[in-house]
Amino acid sequence: MTLVATERAAPTLRLEWRSDGSLWALRGDEERAVAVRRCFPWSEPARYLSLRDSEEEEFAVVRDPADLDVRSRAALEMALAVAGFVFEVTRLLEIDEEVEIRHWRVETRQGPRTFQTRLDDWPRLLPHGGLLIRDLAGDLYHLASPERLDRKSQDLLWAFVD
């Protein structure tokens, strides 16, 4: 059996920010407030973006933002900045092991932050390099280039990187 992707000539998708602070997707007569989900947040963050309504139903998939008009693209980029937000770690100050948890004290682009991970929860190596750490609450911390951190940070991080 051969699987063939079929494409129908769908009405053009438009996106806009409205005064209610939400991203709205418009297609033909339909319009819905949507949130953006990256289908591949780490391997292909700029493409395949799922637009979902408040019921978590998919309204549309944007395969490539370049397919959108300029205003829609700008609106999408704003939404992506929030949806894709993770803490960007710029410096490690302390990694300490306590009973069953690992305690991290870091500086991020967003300000100083302390968080905890389970002892057996290891930083994840991302497809395009960099590390991702998930804390106990589910917040994510991204170290884009561990090798470019200062010496103390690298020293602290040594046990957690290959």
Partner 1 sequence: MSTLHYLDDQIIARYTAQPSRLPLELRREIERAWQGAPVQLYALADLDQSLRLTETWVVLGPRHVASARRVGEDWEIRSVERSRIEALREAPGLSANTLSILGSPGEPALLLVRYTHRQRRTFENLRFILEEQLEVGARDIPAVDPDRVYADSIARPVREAQALVAGHQTAVIRRLLGYLKPYRRQLSLGMAAATLITLVSLVPPYLAGHLIDRVVRPAQAGTLPLARAWTIAWLAVAAMALVYLVRQPAVHIRLRLMSILGEWVARDLRAELYEHIQRLSLAFFSRKRTGSLITRVSADTDRLWDFLAFGVVDVSLSLVMLVGLGSVLLSLDWRLGLVMTLPVPVFCWLIYRHSERITRLFIRAWRKWSRVTDVLSDTIPGIRVVKAFNQEQREIGRFGERNEDVTTEFNRIHASWTTFWPLLMLGVHMMTVMVWVFAVPRLLGNGAQLPVGTFVSFLLYTTMFAAPIEVIGQMARTINRATTSAHRVFEVLDTEPEVRDVATPVRLEPVHGRVTFEHVTFGYDGVRQVLRAMSFDVHPGELIGLVGPSGGGKTTIVNLIARFYDVTGGTIRVDGVDLRRLDTGHYRRQIGMVLQDPYLFHGTVLDNIRYGLPEASLGHVVAAAQAANAHDFITKLQHGYDTVVGERGHTLSGGERQRVSIARAILHNPRILILDEATSSVDTETEREIQQALERLVSGRTVFAIAHRLSTLRKASRLFVIEDGRLVEHGTHAELLAKSDGKYRRLYELQLQLQ
Residues 116-135 that bind partner 1 (CB under 8 A): 116, 118, 120, 122, 135
Which of these segments, 1-9, 66-74, 144-152, 154-162, binds partner 1 (CB under 8 A)? Answer: 154-162
Contacts of 68 (CB under 8 A, 6+ apart): 13, 14, 15, 62, 76
- What are the DSSP calls for 11-71, one per residue? PPEEEEE-TTS-EEEEETTEEEEEEEEESSTTTSTTS-EEEE-TTS-EEEEES-GGGS-HH
Number of residues that bind partner 1 (CB under 8 A): 42
Binding of partner 1 by 137 (CB under 8 A): yes
- Closest to 64 (Cα-Cα) out of 78, 79, 46: 46
Binding-site member from 43, 44, 46, 112 for partner 1 (CB under 8 A): 112
Binding of partner 1 by 43 (CB under 8 A): no
Binding of partner 1 by 144 (CB under 8 A): no
The answer to whether 100 and 119 are in contact (CB under 8 A) is yes
The answer to whether 77 and 62 are in contact (CB under 8 A) is no
Which of these segments, 6-14, 66-74, 79-87, 145-153, binds partner 1 (CB under 8 A)? Answer: 79-87
Binding-site member from 26, 27, 84, 90 for partner 1 (CB under 8 A): 84
The single-letter DSSP state of residue 85 is -
If the CB atoms of residues 12 and 77 are measured against partner 1, the closer one turns out to be: 77
The residues that touch partner 1, with contacts defined as CB under 8 A, are 18-22, 33, 35, 41, 54, 81-87, 97-101, 103, 110-116, 118, 120, 122, 135-140, 158-160, 162
